Amino acid sequence: MSEAQWPSVRVEQARELFFEQGRDPAPWIAPHISRSWQRSRPVDPQYIDPEPMAMALLSERREQAMRLLNCAQPELDGLAEHAVGNGCVVVLSDASGLILEEIGSPDFLPKAQRVALQPGVAWSESHRGTNAIGTALVEREALMVLGGEHYLAQNGALGCAAAPIFTGRGELAGALDISGETARVNHHALGLVRMAAQQVEHRMMLAEAAGHVLRFHARPALIGTAREGLMVIEGGRIVAANRVALELFDHSWESLLDLDAQIFLGRNWPRMEHRRSLLTLPGGRQIATVMERTTTPGSARSANRRTHVPENATATTDADDVLPLLAQAVRVLNEGVSVLVNGETGSGKEVFSRRLHAASRRGAGPFVAVDCASLPETLIESELFGYDEGAFTGARRKGMVGRIREAHGGVLFLDEIAEIPLALQTRLLRVLEERVVTPLGGGQGVAVDFDLVCATHGNLPALVEAGRFRADLMYRVAGFSVALPSLHQRRDRHALIARLFLESGGAARHLRLEDDALQALASYRWPGNVRELRSTLRAVVALADTGDSVAAAMLPAHLRGAPALPSHAAPDADLRTAPHAAEPLVAITRHAIDEALKACDHDVARAARQLGVHRSTVYRHLARQRGTSGTH
């Protein structure tokens, strides 16, 4: 046997020990592979590759990861040359393992797609078992997974090298991966993705920095490169640091973040600004440093300080209104208590829930979202609970595990929980209490472990009173309730608008949002909330030329005439009091609903599907009509 064949023989021996005999494969394979196989036991070895998520959903996920995508693009382009020359592909995922982008060899791309290695597919460990993307995110280090080291046998022809990407606070932002045929991926590929991830982290930290940035290295020539140490100081406290800084200071993120800067830099550290100096580390070693005050648009914490907010807007807080709610929800969810998110349509319930997942103890696990309102009643049961082979006519040949089982190890997000049919609520309650799910067709129950987040724009207590929602299920899903404010109620809307403007392409195209434009945007009531705001900002950015200053005159006409809202909008403000400038949009919406109802013979469900809105939107429209007609 040749030396080159020996690794594959060891992996075959390990697979036989683990999968056939149920024994520990540790002596035969790398430690990170052994640990990952053990974690991957809940994954069905006969897992069927899923279809990529709908393009609209993928676009939303890319939007949420816009800063990562922008900062990673140069590295994707740089790695693409290596990938094409070696018959490989380069993959960028978000923190959950969802593939956002893929570029590389035209020869290998079709092979990658055959094993669902493509945008819109989740490659977390909890979905697909051991694989470089998912395992690197869990292990929090760069690693390779070659051939039979993959948990699923169907991925045995792949060789993959991946490196996690971290924020300056030690949170996972995503992963970079090079994949190809096993023989094409080696330690050189691993080194490339490790260096590229470091470049992305460096770029992201500088893009997000506010306050003072300390650059340092033992070799002065490396200051200004991705190999330098970076530390960000706001309000006298260390709020971010990269991995080079952690290594030089011999600290972890947990022990360094939020400490007083003078512990490391001395009481006179502000005088270091714009000066090259030497810093003595705790062990007596000296390093070269440069202190800068950044004015780069970036983090949400300081967006309204740096994106030219009018002086009369300073009464509003520059802290994200949602952050205190998020912090409370994380603490509750980490104790296993279900969280219910309430809010108007478009107020960001799913975005909040994804942030909650990412910040929780389940952050490395999957985030499985189920829109209970969009699923037909005939399919929601099989979608949630899964089914065995032959459970019903039209069932997949090998069955389906169901979304609840897919959420094992992570968070199950049930959007519009109020829309679950009453007949299924009893079964869902039993799963939530017993943590065992039984597929349709009478298969064996499978234990599941997940945290639950639900969302609704409705009033669950009122539905309970009406007999449309079980009281015991309501108490189970609403262990802790979060009420998201509508956009016009948010005190931080200036900062939020400024940040979303940058994330919607304003930063990438070097656009500047002028005072009058920001004030006009903040004064509008936004009946469609954050969703409407995002769409409007994308249109504004698309119409501007690179480097433009976006003034109020460049905004859509209905935004320019909106009278100013008070800085603290009343919580009970009703959309019926919206300014006259909003009327054209309201009129268009009402006309569209009327036309859809006519076309569908006044079938509310069909009209809602045709419009792509929730049924309750159509019902509210009909109720308004009845109320209006009754007043004449």
Same fold, 211-295 and 322-483: no
Nearest Cα neighbor of 72 from 41, 94, 50 is 94
Confidence of residue 339 (pLDDT cuts 50, 70, 90): very high
pLDDT tens digits along 523-548: 999 998 988 998 899 889 988 888 88
The model's pTM: 0.52
pLDDT at 312 over 90: no
Cβ count near 71 (within 10 Å): 22
- Backbone region of residue 266 per phi and psi (left: phi > 0; alpha: psi in -120 to 50; beta: other values): left
DSSP state of 421: -
The predicted model gives 59-74 an average pLDDT of 87
Higher pLDDT pick, 255 / 50? 255
Say if residue 306's pLDDT is above 50.
no
- Type of residue numbered 472: D
Decide if 420 contacts 414 (C-beta within 8 A): yes
CATH topology of domain 582-629: Arc Repressor Mutant, subunit A (1.10.10)
pLDDT of residue 25: 87
DSSP H helices in 145-233:
187-208
The residue count for the chain = 632
Q: 321 exposed, middle or buried (CB, 10 Å; 0-12, 13-18, 19+)?
A: middle
- Give the pLDDT mean for 48-55: 83
Q: Which residue has the higher pLDDT, 403 or 27?
A: 403
Percent of the chain predicted with pLDDT > 70: 82
- Answer whether residue 48 shows pLDDT above 60: yes
| H or E element that contains 459 | none
Per CATH, the number for 9-196 is 3.30.450.40
pLDDT greater at residue 92 or residue 438: 92
Which pLDDT score, from 0 to 100, does residue 379 have?
Answer: 76
Please state the φ and ψ torsions of residue 2, each to the nearest 5 degrees: -75, 160
pLDDT tier for residue 603 given thresholds of 50, 70 and 90: confident
User: Does 21 have pLDDT greater than 70?
Assistant: yes
On whether the CB atoms of residues 350 and 415 are closer than 8 A, the answer is: yes
Give the pLDDT band (50/70/90) at residue 194.
very high
Q: Which residue has the higher pLDDT, 279 or 202?
A: 202
Q: pLDDT grade, residue 614 (50/70/90)? A: low
Helix (H) / strand (E) element for 382: namely helix 377-385
Which helix (H) or strand (E) segment is 544 a member of?
Answer: none
Helix (H, G, I), strand (E, B) or coil at 540: helix
Name the 3-class secondary structure at 224.
coil
pLDDT, greater one: 421 or 293: 421
Between residues 282 and 502, which one has the greater pLDDT?
502
Tell me the CATH number for domain 487-578: 1.10.8.60
Quick check: 144 pLDDT over 50? yes
Assign domain 211-295 to its CATH architecture. 2-Layer Sandwich (3.30)
- pLDDT in the model for residue 7: 63
pLDDT band for 627, please (50, 70, 90 cuts). Answer: low
Q: How far apart are CA 120 and CA 123, in angstroms?
A: 10
Residue 507's pLDDT is 78
Residue 53 one-letter amino acid = M
- The stretches of 86-229 forming alpha helices (DSSP H) are 109-114, 125-128, 132-139, 187-208
CATH superfamily, domain at 322-483? P-loop containing nucleotide triphosphate hydrolases (3.40.50.300)
User: What is the average pLDDT across 2-29?
Assistant: 78
Q: What is the C-alpha separation between 182 and 170, in angstroms, rounded?
A: 31
CB neighbours (10 Å) of residue 197? 26
User: What's phi and psi for 208, nearest 5 deg?
Assistant: -95, -10
> Domain segments of the chain: what residues?
9-196, 211-295, 322-483, 487-578, 582-629
Pick the closest to residue 536 from 589, 585, 587 (CA basis).
Answer: 585
Could you tell me the strand order of the sheet in which 172-181 lies? 99-104, 89-94, 172-181, 158-166, 143-146
Return d(Cα 403, Cα 122) in angstroms, integer.
Answer: 13
